[in-house]
Chains A and B, each alone.
Chain A
Amino acid sequence: MTDVKTVFGSLRNYQKGGVEVIDDDPRNYVFSNVFEVAEKSQPYERVAVGKNFDYVIEALRAEGTSPWYACAHDEFALVMDGRVEVRLMKPETPLVPSDKSGALRLTAAPSGRKMGRVVAGRGHMTLLPKGSAYQFHADQPSVVTIQTIQGDVTVERWADICQTK
């Protein structure tokens, strides 16, 4: 046995750090915490917590069943807390133009073939393959971050989520 303690965060228990300014503006660091953002978001709001030109990292609270999404490029979902099922479909015809960036929210379940599903726990990363449609489901409030490109579903509210002083 070992007495080592690795500290992960969760919706219920996270301890945020922060920017200690010497000669600077804390806004330069765009500092937030994914658990805090998820705590204060509606289920499945895809809030940008990182942005580098077109690319974003979105944080979302997974709770209940999400809308269906489709995307023309790969995305990756990393579960930070809880347990999330990812359901994957291959649409009959492409739902997103190939040059369109970011995920699109679909109004209904797509028709097509079932690709399969993944049940992911904390620390598990799931491929959301390009050209597929996907839906999340979580029985208990969970937290997911998504590596993707900024798109129609991406919500930006930096001044609300980031350290400003």
Chain B
Amino acid sequence: MSTAFAVQASEPDNYYGYRRFKKGAFEFHRDEYFVHIRWPKGTHTMAADIFLRALQRDIAWNFFYGTVNFDGVFGTLNHYGTVDMFAGRFNDAYRKAGRDYNETYKSEDLMATFKAILEDWTNRGYDPFAAPEETKQPYGRKDGDNKRAIERQRVTAKRMVGLPGDTPQRSDAGGYPVNRHFADVPQDQPEVYPEPGFEGEVSAFNLFAYLSRSDVTWNPSVCSVVKDSLYCPTSEEFILPVEHGNDRVEWFMQLSDEIIWEIKRKETGAPRARVVCRAGDICAMPADIRHQGFSPKRSMLLVWENNSNAIPALIESGKAPVVPVVF
């Protein structure tokens, strides 16, 4: 299979074994511990695991909604068809000093480079989707690859998990064992009694059991759909690998355990609040913030998104408020 978009990659480095990559005026290289990024107005250094975990999410989510900050400096901004790659764009000091830098690409174009970087820089045994306790260290010189892990498809149900022809439930036989942190989660199934002719419509499944068998962290997957209303539950452990600056309001309903959210201003990165969510708590993330979650134990989180493509323009133009409810 050939890609329509060229990837600019060097030969493997003689010592570290990793390739260098160029995209526009951005340059990327890695060594045993770090990823180094260079652009016309500056340079930046990130720990390899932080970079790879963020890169993995940005790829799996197809640049997601709005801004995906890998950290306080580097990230992407989705325009749904095109995408910005930036340095310092959402950092107050870089902006004020005129040090921020931005390039725009067709989404598939940047995606081709991102996938090539992730594939080359992910070593054997390291799974960027896994919690740190579940996987090997990503450090050291180039050592094999882990294509199976990084090419997982994001789950998107069309109506509801478990319906005929829709995303299947998870099971041991399907390769989804119960996660060690969810060993006590009941695996019972609802009692479903359809009358003849209604087997495909009278349907239910155990969502908590489904989430207990997730093999990834911080990877919202669509499980039920009411028009543009998407329930995207996910299992979370350790730190959300990105600071997400959504271009619309999203909601969190904590289904189990606890997540602590750090909230900063979307534009500048200045801290605004900390939000502690425990089982049954539900809260909105306004459209003018960025958020990063900390989950001490693997937990179940329902991320609720409104997929309408009209919303980003409504919010940017001020026609819709940045909060979902005024009271």
* A interface residues, Cβ below 8 angstroms from B: 2, 4-9, 14-24, 26-36, 49-53, 55, 57, 59, 73-76, 78, 80, 86, 88, 90, 113-127, 129, 132, 145, 147-149, 156, 158-159, 162
Contact status B208-A126, CB under 8 Å: no
With both beta carbons as reference points, the residue of chain B lying nearest to A35 in the complex is identified as B280
Contacts of A122 on B, CB cut-off 8 Å? 186, 208
Contact status B203-A127, CB under 8 Å: yes
Contacts of A9 on B, CB cut-off 8 Å? 278-280
The one of A8, A23, A123, A147 that contacts B226, using a Cβ cutoff of 8 Å: A147
Contact status A34-B184, CB under 8 Å: no
Tell me how far the C-beta of B162 lies from the nearest C-beta in chain A, rounded to whole angstroms: 9
28 contacts between A and B (CB under 8 A): A2-B180, A6-B182, A15-B278, A16-B280, A20-B273, A21-B272, A24-B273, A29-B273, A30-B325, A50-B324, A51-B324, A53-B306, A53-B320, A55-B227, A55-B306, A74-B159, A86-B204, A88-B202, A118-B190, A120-B190, A123-B255, A124-B204, A124-B205, A125-B204, A125-B207, A147-B224, A147-B231, A159-B327
Contacts of A116 on B, CB cut-off 8 Å? 192-195, 198, 202
Contacts of B281 on A, CB cut-off 8 Å? 16-17, 31-34
Instruction: Tell me if B46 is interfacial: C-beta within 8 Å of chain A.
Output: no
* A27 CA to B324 CA, complexed, in Å: 10
Tell me how far the C-beta of B79 lies from the nearest C-beta in chain A, rounded to whole angstroms: 21
B217-231 with Cβ < 8 A to chain A: 223-229, 231
Contact status A118-B202, CB under 8 Å: yes
With both beta carbons as reference points, the residue of chain A lying nearest to B159 in the complex is identified as A74
Contact status B190-A124, CB under 8 Å: yes
Instruction: Tell me if B60 is interfacial: C-beta within 8 Å of chain A.
Output: no
**0/1 string, B216-257, CB within 8 A of A gives 1:** 000000011111110100000000000000001111011111
* A145 CA to B69 CA, complexed, in Å: 32
Contact status A76-B224, CB under 8 Å: yes
Of A26, A57, A86, most B-chain CB atoms within 10 Å? A57
* A119 CA to B288 CA, complexed, in Å: 41
Instruction: Tell me if B293 is interfacial: C-beta within 8 Å of chain A.
Output: no
Contact status B273-A34, CB under 8 Å: no
Contact status B191-A4, CB under 8 Å: no
The one of B163, B185, B207, B279 that contacts A78, using a Cβ cutoff of 8 Å: B207
The one of B183, B224, B274, B327 that contacts A125, using a Cβ cutoff of 8 Å: B224
Contact status B208-A132, CB under 8 Å: no
* A145 CA to B255 CA, complexed, in Å: 11
Contact status A29-B275, CB under 8 Å: yes
Instruction: Tell me if B258 is interfacial: C-beta within 8 Å of chain A.
Output: yes
* A26 CA to B274 CA, complexed, in Å: 10
How many A-B pairs with Cβ below 8 Å? 237
Interface size of B by CB at 8 A reads 77
**0/1 string, B284-301, CB within 8 A of A gives 1:** 111000000000010000
* A31 CA to B273 CA, complexed, in Å: 13
Contact status A125-B282, CB under 8 Å: no
Contact status B286-A125, CB under 8 Å: no
With both beta carbons as reference points, the residue of chain A lying nearest to B188 in the complex is identified as A121
Contact status A23-B251, CB under 8 Å: no
Contacts of B223 on A, CB cut-off 8 Å? 125
Contact status B227-A149, CB under 8 Å: yes
Contact status A22-B198, CB under 8 Å: no
Given A50-B304, A116-B195: A22 in contact with B271 (beta carbons within 8 A): yes
Instruction: Tell me if B263 is interfacial: C-beta within 8 Å of chain A.
Output: yes
Closest 7 CB pairs of A and B: A123-B208, A17-B276, A9-B280, A9-B279, A158-B327, A116-B202, A116-B194
Tell me how far the C-beta of B210 lies from the nearest C-beta in chain A, rounded to whole angstroms: 9
Instruction: Tell me if B311 is interfacial: C-beta within 8 Å of chain A.
Output: yes
Instruction: Tell me if B283 is interfacial: C-beta within 8 Å of chain A.
Output: yes
* A106 CA to B80 CA, complexed, in Å: 42
Given A17-B277, A123-B206, A127-B160: A50 in contact with B226 (beta carbons within 8 A): no
Instruction: Tell me if B2 is interfacial: C-beta within 8 Å of chain A.
Output: no
Contact status B205-A49, CB under 8 Å: no
* A31 CA to B261 CA, complexed, in Å: 13
* A22 CA to B264 CA, complexed, in Å: 10
Contacts of A74 on B, CB cut-off 8 Å? 159-160, 225-226
The one of B191, B194, B282 that contacts A115, using a Cβ cutoff of 8 Å: B194
Contact status B226-A7, CB under 8 Å: no
Contacts of B188 on A, CB cut-off 8 Å? 121
* A36 CA to B279 CA, complexed, in Å: 11
* A117 CA to B225 CA, complexed, in Å: 21
* A65 CA to B251 CA, complexed, in Å: 30
